[in-house]
Amino acid sequence: MSSIFTKIINGELPAYKIVEDDQFLAFLDINPNAKGHTLCIPKKEINKIFDMEEEDYVALMRFSRKVAKALEKAVPCKRIGMSVVGLEVPHVHVHLIPLQEMDDIRFTRKTSLSVEEFEELVKSIQSYL
């Protein structure tokens, strides 16, 4: 069965998509740790990041870096934190999280955003890509 994220890639589930190419997609996390929390995923469904082919892994890091730089301009923060967990969704994803404090990267505290805030974030991040 396809992962939730494969369904997002295929347009079967909605998402606030930021940017994609033939290999990767960046979209906003629906239950963000902090405003601007973004996920970067490979379109090829694979469970664990270190099982990726080396060149695909490096390409995912390159894609994530580009998105992180735009995110840092769009969302005021001290820096962009990066994390890979995957305990909830078994489809590789890099978390990019605008950080103000350590709690923002701990996945214990969530923030809720309105549809308008999600849409505004997408536009703002895209404007810096």
Q: What's the rounded Cα separation, in Å, for the pair 37 and 112?
A: 11
Angle (CA) 5 90 79, round 5°:
75
Residue 27 binds ligand 5GP, judged by CB under 6 A: yes
The total of other beta-carbon atoms located within 10 Å of residue 24's CB is 23
* Count, residues near ligand 5GP per rule CB under 6 A: 13
Q: Among candidates 127, 125, 126, which has minimal Cα distance to 35?
A: 125
Stretch binding ligand 5GP (CB under 6 A), from 27-35, 40-48, 65-73, 118-126: 27-35
The reply to whether 37 belongs to the active site is: no
Site track for ligand 5GP across 67-106, x = CB under 6 A: ------------------xxxxx---x-------------
Residues with active-site annotation = 93
